[in-house]
Structures are given as structure tokens and as C-alpha cells.
Amino acid sequence: MTSTPTGTVFEYAPAPESTAIVDIRSSYGLFVDGEFVDPTGGRSFKTVNPATEEVLAEVAEAGEDDVDLAVRAARRAYTRTWGRMSGRERGKYLFRIARLLQERSRELAVLESIDNGKPIRESRDFDVPQAAAHFFYYAGWADKLRYAVPAADPRPLGVAGQVIPWNFPLLMLAWKVAPALAAGNTVVLKPAETTPLSALLFAEICQQADLPPGVVNILTGAGETGRAVVAHPDVDKVAFTGSTEVGKQIARAVAGTRKKVTLELGGKAANIVFDDAPVDQAVEGIVNGIFFNQGHVCCAGSRLLVQESVADEVLERLKRRMGTLRLGDPLDKNTDVGAINSAEQLTRIKELSDVGEQEGAGRWSPPCDLPTNGFWFPPTIFTGVSQAHRIAREEIFGPVLSVLTFRTPAEAVEKANNTPYGLSAGVWTDKGSRILWAADKLRAGVVWANTFNKFDPTSPFGGYKESGYGREGGRHGLEGYLTWEGKA
Amino acid sequence: MRPIVPGGGLRTYAGSVTATLTPDPTELSEATSSDSALRRFLHGLPGVDQVGAEARAAMLGTRSIKTTSKELALELAIRMVDLTTLEGQDTPGKVRALCSKAMRPDPTDPSCPPTAAVCVYPDMVGVAKEALGGSGVHVASVATAFPSGRAALDIKLADTRDAVEAGADEIDMVIDRGAFLAGRYLQVYEEIVAVREACAREDGHGAHLKVIFETGELQTFDNIRRISWLAMMAGAHFIKTSTGKVQPAATMPGTLVMLEAVRDFREATGRMVGVKPAGGIRSAKEAIKYLVMVNEVAGTDWLDPDWFRFGASTLLNDLLMQRMKMRTGRYSGPDYVTMD
């Protein structure tokens, strides 16, 4: 603000969502063949609340033997029940799961915020409703698969091994599980080691929905467990969302096998603001693009490309808007920015931000008190960033925005495309023709026009270049889980 | 406060006038030099994306205001009410009753603050003024052929002077929507300037001018942004959404665009202009959403009855019932607040 506030101070009193609705057990087993079982190796790890560092639960760590048991269960379920079931019947189960996600939405939202650190406003208004919407959407496809692909006889692939990240634990589960099941596959899913709890609650929901045993198996664990799922010889399909580095390892691991694979990897999206943009909404879009979910978003608008003639004013407005962001307790209904998911991630964000400073970029954060416990990083912008800076090239995966400027539309597109990634991009302008022109030139899987980070189950999502291959969501999302006569 | 733009007088347009995101004062005074200059200026203001504005307003509506902040918000909202009666069937008795209610909204609780003003037709200003006496509650009067604004300028000015002479502290004028929608911006501008002059008194204590846009008729957010700037440049003390006679009346996203305009106008000129959403705000919950929006969009400076008002008739009772609930822990019924 440019002036001193003289009016009444309107502080929002704490408005914490009650945690009474969730019942976190002290320890969790693996979900295999419809039952919670102890891991054969007896190993476990702890999951913590990133906002407080409090240990939430002991979670079983699946070893190779557990992976084998789970894949066998999935195979059995595939050959005996799920793969033979009519699409219409499968659809009923998926609709039932979707309704249960809605019925238990508060519980899921609170649990997600506790385990992940994301604001309850986002888990409540985004993650959980979107997850339910995905199940509803693919439930509708289950008996219409012949209209989804250019063939009359699409068939499921078999057993899908799925590895998902910690940024949207339940939603990424939905993105993976819903299309796989709709298409008639069974799954072995490994949630991220820092955020296993909502997947385990989802396992309970599968039980509640009377889903046949073995159709969904959930194996908790870290990288080793994920590697074992990917490497298991009886897995027909590997689906992964996460870092480009791990994605490359997976691509190497499945190369030369019969396994199908889809990868949804990192990004360094450009959010391009032209001088005729609706400026207040563009500022909102910039904020939503990079500070949504603490910037733990693969398609985050982490590079702001703003036209030189309006750069100063856009930045001034952006800073003013950032001053109103509320950072703190993820369970407070008025929190906009929650906790960083893990100590490890916080270290990476800090390191790259320090690099940004060393490389000469100007660092700015609004005045912001960080809680003493837990993992926190203030919303941060870097100005004077050039294409050569590491913070303009590497994915930070945190609430850190690199600001670059451009003069001409051609330069904007050139800079936007000058990255090994290509997951998403944003275009802000009042000129419709420029939106179409830019969308045509931008090499990114999703181009948002006058909005950012908007999702819908009907819309395909996926990357160019090192952001991965295959599409999730929409009709296209089914293709990764189906095969048919003449498919390459 | 005085208008930053000298009013009236068509001057020959010279030089280019294109609005940057935040125009400077010279640009503003040049912009009103001719109809074409004003059009160029208003059309050069940054556009408003409807979907984005609505999403932002909806997000602000999810804020959860509890306990102490709710108490504060209710108290503030009561102090911001322009308690309104604008009916053909209004009687002096009804206006006096309204005035009593404005001064002591909760007769059982002397700590309950008064409302900001009562808002009546010009012929009731005298009655209201007498009833309110030195209570500090202002008398606002609609004028300029309210609500349609379809009368000749001299009639509108006479209407205004009438209310001012009867003692109105505030004048709520309506713009000529026909002229605005037809693109005759300078006509709208000059009319506001003229009404503002008619609000003057010889003792220097002129009536404050609120300019009603009737956003329900202007329809687009781009229009709301343009008319906001136009009215502020013409010297409005307050910009107001609606008459309450046209649906939709006040909306959250429409008011959001106006709050952005007053914020940007202060950046550009240093002058603060108030905002008054009117019509359709009936519950305390909605009123609190508006206050959250004021807080986070325009800033805390606007959280004051001098800079933000609610034009409402039924809102006050819900505010009072919620206030009682906060103080006693129990919900009362509509029979425990006065009907007018």
C-alpha cells in the first residue's frame, strides 16, 4: 500500500476447521486384495504434519514381496472380475465411489490439509470436489468406451502400476485411478511417502463401496517401492506423475518392455501478460498461477513474462496483492498460503532462491511472519531475471516467481518456448486473435487464456518435451488405458 | 475536498489522451477537454475480465469471519447503513419512525451505534432533518429525477437544490444512463459537475454527492469501470451501484470493480472516493462479505462510514439480530427488532 492505513483494522479472527471429523490411526498397513495387511518386511515410516512437524502416523513400507502380492491380487481381480465385468457395472462402482468422495468430502479435505500442508480452502474447494468430479466423469465413460477411441473393440490393458506425487495426493489418485478403472484395468497405486493418508482413506472408501478385492491396491512407501511397482514384470501399464528426473528413470526402466507408459512431469510455465490485459484479473491470475498450493504445482505459472510497457505497474499491483495473502495454519479457513510439504522440499526452494540472489536477480517478499514450527516459505518474486538464470530454467516447485519482460509478442512466445519443459502456459490479453495466435505458437500441453490453473475432468492435460507424454483427463485420458486393433 | 478537474466548458482537444494503467492528473484533466478525448480516455482504461472478476468476488465470499472480527464487522456495518425508504407511499410519520430507528437501531441496547444516514425523497428531507436534529445521523436525499433520471437538466438541478435547501447532507443523484450507453460521455460528465455545483451552499458546507450508476442497466464490467472513473473525475464524493429499483441491484463483482476504481483513482490523484452498494443486500452475512472485499481490495482506509455505505432497508434488522446473537448467545426472532 502506498498510504498509511487510518481506518479500522479488520483482523480476521482464527477460523480453524475442526479436526474432530478425521480419525487418524496410529499405524496403517498396506491395502492389498481388499484388506489392510502388514508389510512382509515389517518396515514402516512416519508421516508428519508439515505445518507443525508433529508425527501423524506410522505407515507401512512396501517391499518387493508386497509389490508382488499386490500385482498378483490386481491380476486376479482383472482376470476374474473387473476385466470381465460389463462397462455398465463398472460404472456403477465408480459412481458409488464418486458419491462417497462427496459424502466424506470434509473428512478428506481436513485430512489432506493435515498431511500435505495445503490450505483447507483449497482442499475443500478444489482438490476434493475435483477428485469426485473425475470419478463422476469417468464413471460415465465406463459403458461408452467404443465411442472413446477410433475402434469398435477397445480393450483394457490389464494391471496398471501408478506412482503419484505429494502435491495433490487425492486428486492425482483420482486422475490415475478413475480412467484406469473405467477402462477395465485394475491398479496398484503408490502414493508419495510424505502424503499417504488420503490414499489410505480412499482405500477405506473402496471397501465401503464394495469394490471387488484386488481392483485397487495401495502400497505406501518411498522411491524403492515405486521402483518395484514400475519394474514388476506383470504390470502392463505404468503411469507416473512427478519430477522429470524420476520420469526419465522410469522411461529407462520400461524401455524395451511391453509396458505402456504415460508420464506427467515437471514444468516451468510462462504466464504472458500483454499490455492490453485486463490488469486486475491478470494480477489475480499471476497470484493463482504461482502461489496456489504453495507453488507445488507442476503446471505453475512460475515465469511471469510481462510486456515492458506495463511491467512496472503490473509489478506494483502484484506486490500490493501479495501483501494481502494470508500465510499460516493450513486448517484456518482464511489461509491462502499453507506450509511447504517437507523439509526436503523447503531446502530445495531455499537453495534455488539463494541461487537467484547470487545470480543478481532482485528478491522481494511481502512482510510476513513465518510460524516457528513446520516448513514455511514466504511468497517470493524475483525481478530482473533473464533466460540464463537458473531460476528461469529450473523448476523450483515452490511459491517463487521469476519475472521477465518482453517487447513484442514474438519475443514473448520465443522466451516462453525457450525451456526444456512444455506443460502449460498462460496468455493475458483482451484481444481474441492474439490469444489464438499465441496458443498456436506456444509449445505447451495446456494454454490458459485470461485464467490460470483451471481444471476440468473433461479437458485433457499433459506435456510437451520434458514435461512428459500421454494425456490425462477427458476422452484422451482413456486412451492411455485402452488398446484396440490397429493401435500402435 | 474539491474536484480535481475543472468542470464544464468544451475545449479543443489537443494531443493524445490514452489511459495508462494508472493515469496521472494531467492526463485526467486533458481527458475531459472534449467528448472524443473523454471517450479515448475511458476506452483506454484496462479492461475487466468478467470471469476473473466474478471468481475473485466469489473467493472473497468464502472468507470466514468469526467471533471478535464478526462483532467488529457487524458494528461497522450498522454504522455504514444508509437506512432507506424510497416509496411513493412514504409518509412523514414513516420517515420519523425511520429516523428514530436510525438513531437508536436497537432500543433495548444504548451501546448499539446509529446508522450513517437515512435516505429519503427530497420532499421528506425537511421531516427527516427535524427528526434527526443534532444526532449526527445524516440526511441523504435522492435527486435528479430519481430513479430513471429522465428529465431535463434544469429540472434535475432544481430537484437537487430543493433537497439541499431543505437541509440534505448528502445527495444521491442518478446518471443519465441513456446518454452513457449512447456514448455521450461528456454530457454525463457535465451533468455530474453541474449537480455537484448545485450541492454547494453559501456557508461552504455543501452536500456530499453520491453518483448512482444503475449498474444493472450498464451491464458490463467495462462500463462500470468507465463510469466509475468518469464520476470520480467529475467530482463525486461517493460512487453508488444502484437505485434499488432495477434488478440486479448491487452485486459483489460489480462492487469489486468499483472498489478497484476508487483504489486506482487515489493512486492517481491522491483523492479518496467512497463506494456505496445499494439494493439487494439483505443479510448480515452478505454485508460481511462486502466488508471483506473492501478490506482486501480497496484497503482498510475504506472501512469507515465516511468511505463505504450500504444502501438498504431490510439489512439493518438482520445486522441487529446477529449482533444480539453475538451478545446474548441466542438467536431472537424478527419480533425482537422493530419493523421500521
Q: State pLDDT tens for residues B290-302.
A: 999 999 999 999 9
Q: Please tell me the distance in Å from A279's CA to the nearest CA on chain B.
A: 6
Per-residue pLDDT, B307: 98
A206 carries an active-site annotation: no
- Name chain B contacts of A450, Cβ cutoff 8 Å: 49, 51-52
**Mean per-residue pLDDT, A158-164:** 98
Per-residue pLDDT, B26: 82
Q: Please tell me the distance in Å from A410's CA to the nearest CA on chain B.
A: 22
Q: Tell me: the pLDDT tens digits for A302-331?
A: 999 999 999 999 999 999 999 999 999 999
| A270-456 CATH | 3.40.309.10
Most A CBs within 10 A among B50, B69, B275, B293, hence the mutation to make, goes to: B69
Cβ distance of A280 and B55 shorter than 8 Å: no
What ipTM was predicted for this assembly?
0.93
Per-residue pLDDT, B21: 67
Delimit the domains of chain A by residue range: 27-265+466-483, 270-456
Tell me, yes or no, if A11 comes closer than 8 A to chain B by beta carbon. yes
Tell me, yes or no, if A451 comes closer than 8 A to chain B by beta carbon. yes
Question: Does 3.40.605.10 match the CATH number of domain A27-265+466-483?
Answer: yes
**Mean per-residue pLDDT, A83-108:** 98
Give the cell for residue B301: 482506509
Q: Please tell me the distance in Å from B32's CA to the nearest CA on chain A.
A: 23
Cβ distance of B49 and A450 shorter than 8 Å: yes
Cβ distance of A279 and B46 shorter than 8 Å: yes
A472 carries an active-site annotation: no
Per-residue pLDDT, B15: 36
Per-residue pLDDT, A457: 97
Compute the distance between CA of residue B152 and CA of residue B243 in angstroms, rounded to an integer.
19
B129 carries an active-site annotation: no
Per-residue pLDDT band at A28 (split at 50, 70, 90):
very high
Q: Is the pLDDT of residue B7 over 90?
A: no
Q: Is the pLDDT of residue B37 over 70?
A: yes
Give the CA-trace dihedral at B143, B146, B151, B153, to 10 degrees: 30
**Mean per-residue pLDDT, A53-71:** 98
Domains of chain B: 25-328 (3.20.20.70)
- Name chain B contacts of A3, Cβ cutoff 8 Å: 266, 301
More confident residue, B22 or B190: B190
Share of chain A above pLDDT 90, in %: 96
Asked if residues A224 and A83 have their Cβ atoms less than 8 Å apart, the reply is no
Report the 10 Å Cβ neighbour count for A443: 17
Compute the distance between CA of residue B35 and CA of residue A57 in angstroms, rounded to an integer.
70
Q: At a CB cut-off of 8 Å and minimum separation 6, what does A168 contact?
A: A127, A293
Nearest CB neighbour to A13, from listed B46, B69, B266: B69
Share of chain A above pLDDT 70, in %: 98
Question: Which residue of the set A298, A466, A472, A479 is catalytic?
Answer: A298
Q: Tell me: the pLDDT tens digits for A121-156?
A: 999 999 999 999 999 999 999 999 999 998 889 999
Q: Tell me: the pLDDT tens digits for A180-214?
A: 999 999 999 999 999 999 999 999 999 999 999 99
Give the cell for residue A401: 516467481
SS (H, E, C) A276-332: CCCHHHHHHHHHHHHHHHHHCCCCCCCEEEEEHHHHHHHHHHHHHHHCCCCECCCCE
More confident residue, A55 or B32: A55
Question: Which residue of the set B106, B172, B222, B318 is catalytic?
Answer: B172
- Amino acid identity at B259: L
Per-residue pLDDT band at B16 (split at 50, 70, 90):
very low
Compute the distance between CA of residue A396 and CA of residue B29 in angstroms, rounded to an integer.
47
Per-residue pLDDT band at A9 (split at 50, 70, 90):
low
Q: Is the pLDDT of residue A3 over 70?
A: no
Which residues in chain A (318-337) have CB-CB distances under 8 A to chain B?
324, 333-334
Q: Tell me: the pLDDT tens digits for B52-94?
A: 999 999 999 999 999 999 999 999 999 999 999 999 999 999 9
Cβ distance of A281 and B66 shorter than 8 Å: no
Q: At a CB cut-off of 8 Å and minimum separation 6, what does B296 contact?
A: A324, B60
Per-residue pLDDT, B12: 31
Q: Tell me: the pLDDT tens digits for A286-296?
A: 999 999 999 99
Q: Is the pLDDT of residue B312 over 70?
A: yes
Which residue has 501423524 as its cell numbers? Answer: A56
